[in-house]
């Protein structure tokens, strides 16, 4: 089954404790992206990657890092989480042709205390 | 910058009625739009898309209308069912790398 898999589903942590949210896709997609979703706001792009070893900032990259060492994986790293990073995070992927559908993972609910 | 917005945060309809969810965008050069459905506890799912060279596109029970003159698009759901209850987002993707999402309309279907 074609899917984007994120882990963990829920995460509670404390300020300053480094964490990683993993994302994996099995569709051989070149493009992968991370979004955060906050009440009253649309999905906002954090980082995206056009292919292996190619990453770029989205609209809200501050406080986040990503890496793309393999085509299927695109982890999101919070080196020093802060309470304003409490949010619902989604990973997504698609092929590298304009107009291809964006497939989303099920989300990771992060709470930073 | 780009902006995409939805008109109503919540819409309640009776089961069997038609639903219309609206969305406005700011960039007149936008040429590709997508509607997503997000059920509780899940990620957004693709519903239907439309390019700017079209005014209307139909799927199964769903129709998207695009009015480029007023920069407005709408999603129509025919014979709304309880399973249609979800949050609906419009998104704009004219820059290949970026999708701009509206804040969403929550559709409540009353039995």
Minimal Cα–Cα distance from B15 to chain A, Å? Answer: 26
Query: What does pLDDT average to over chain B?
Result: 90
What mean pLDDT is predicted for residues A6-18?
97
How confident is the model over B86-107, as pLDDT tens digits?
Answer: 999 999 987 777 888 888 999 9
Tell me which chain B residues have a C-beta less than 8 angstroms from the C-beta of A50: 97
Residue contacts between A and B (CB atoms, under 8 Å): 56
CB spacing of B101 vs A50 below 8 angstroms = no
Cα gap B33→A101, rounded to integer Å: 11
Say what percent of chain B tops pLDDT 70.
95
Please indicate if any CB of chain A lies within 8 Å of the CB of B82.
no
Q: What is the pLDDT of residue A40?
A: 81
Which pLDDT score, from 0 to 100, does residue A94 have? 93
Query: Mind telling me how many Å the CA of B8 is from chain A's nearest CA?
Result: 11
Tell me A85's DSSP state.
G
Secondary element (H or E) of residue A47: strand A44-51
Residue A40: list chain B partners with CB under 8 A.
9, 103
From the list B42, B89, B98, the residue facing A58 with the nearest CB is B98
Pick from B32, B44, B101: which is nearest to A99 by CB?
Answer: B32
Bridge partner list, B36:
B46, B89
Res A67 pLDDT > 90: yes
pLDDT category at B2 given cuts 50, 70, 90 is: low
Write out pLDDT tens, residues B36-64: 999 998 999 999 999 999 999 999 999 99
In the sheet with B62-67, reading across from the earlier edge strand, the strands are: B4-6, B19-25, B72-77, B62-67, B56-58
Interface contact B69, partner A, CB < 8 A: no
């Amino acid at each position: 089954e074609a899917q984007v898999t994120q882990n963990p589903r829920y995460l509670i942590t404390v300020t300053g404790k480094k964490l990683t949210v993993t994302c994996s896709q099995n569709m051989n997609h070149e493009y992968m992206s991370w979004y955060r979703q906050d009440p009253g706001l649309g999905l906002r792009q954090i980082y995206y990657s056009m292919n292996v070893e190619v990453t770029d900032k989205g609209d809200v990259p501050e406080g986040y890092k990503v890496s793309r060492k393999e085509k299927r994986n695109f982890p999101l790293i919070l080196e020093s989480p802060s309470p304003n990073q409490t949010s619902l995070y989604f990973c997504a992927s698609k092929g590298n042709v304009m107009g291809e559908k964006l497939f989303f993972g099920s989300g990771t609910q992060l709470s930073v205390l | 910058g780009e902006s995409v917005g939805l008109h109503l945060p919540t819409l309640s309809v009776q089961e069997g009625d038609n639903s219309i969810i609206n969305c406005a965008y700011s960039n007149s050069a936008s040429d590709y739009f997508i509607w997503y459905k997000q059920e509780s506890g899940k990620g957004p799912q693709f519903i239907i898309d439309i390019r700017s060279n079209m005014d209307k596109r139909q799927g199964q029970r769903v129709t998207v209308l695009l009015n480029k003159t007023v920069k407005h698009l709408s999603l129509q759901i025919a014979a709304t069912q309880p399973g249609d209850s979800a949050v609906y987002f419009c998104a704009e993707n004219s820059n290949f790398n970026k999708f701009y999402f509206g804040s969403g309309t929550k559709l409540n279907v009353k039995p």
